[in-house]
């Protein structure tokens, strides 16, 4: 499941990339991160609620899902 910022980033990435041609993904992430920080509380809450809804849908689609990363031995 995705967090609010990631949904926000996903939504705005193509427009920011178009406005900042030649920028790398880390640079685009910084720009979008600054935009996120400037959002008002209500706007952030809307994205967070959208992420919560996506999390609920994920839970219904994949009941019992638990993140289990594969750890590589050193």
Per-residue pLDDT averaged across 42-69, rounded?
A: 93
Residue 24 lies in a domain: yes
User: Considering the domain boundaries, does residue 31 fall inside one?
Assistant: yes
Does 67 fall in a domain? Answer: no
pTM: 0.78
Domain with 10, as residue range(s), is 4-61
* Domain CATH number, residue 51: 1.10.30
Does any domain span residue 43? yes
| Domain-embedded: residue 37 | yes
Evaluate whether residue 36 is within a structural domain. yes
**Whole-angstrom Cα distance, residue 1 to residue 61?**
11
| Mean pLDDT of the residues in the chain | 93
pLDDT at residue 14, rounded to an integer: 94
Please count the structural domains in the chain.
1
Question: What phi-psi label fits residue 44: left (phi over 0), alpha (psi between -120 and 50 degrees) or beta?
Answer: alpha
Residue 53 near residue 7, CB atoms below 8 Å: no
CB contact at 8 A, 29 and 9 = yes
- The whole-number pLDDT of residue 68 equals 86
CB contact at 8 A, 47 and 5: yes
Q: For 21-38, how does the pLDDT look when each residue is reduced to its tens digit (9 = 90+)?
A: 999 999 999 999 999 999
What's the pLDDT tens digit per position in 2-19?
Answer: 899 999 999 999 999 999
Q: Considering the domain boundaries, does residue 70 fall inside one?
A: no
């Amino acid at each position: 499941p995705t967090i609010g910022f990631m949904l926000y980033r996903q939504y705005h990435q193509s427009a920011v990339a178009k406005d900042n041609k030649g920028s790398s993904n880390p640079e685009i992430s910084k720009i979008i991160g600054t935009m996120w920080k400037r959002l008002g509380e209500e706007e952030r809450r809307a994205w967070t609620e959208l992420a919560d809804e996506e999390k609920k849908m994920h839970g219904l689609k994949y009941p019992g899902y638990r993140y289990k990363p594969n750890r590589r031995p050193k």
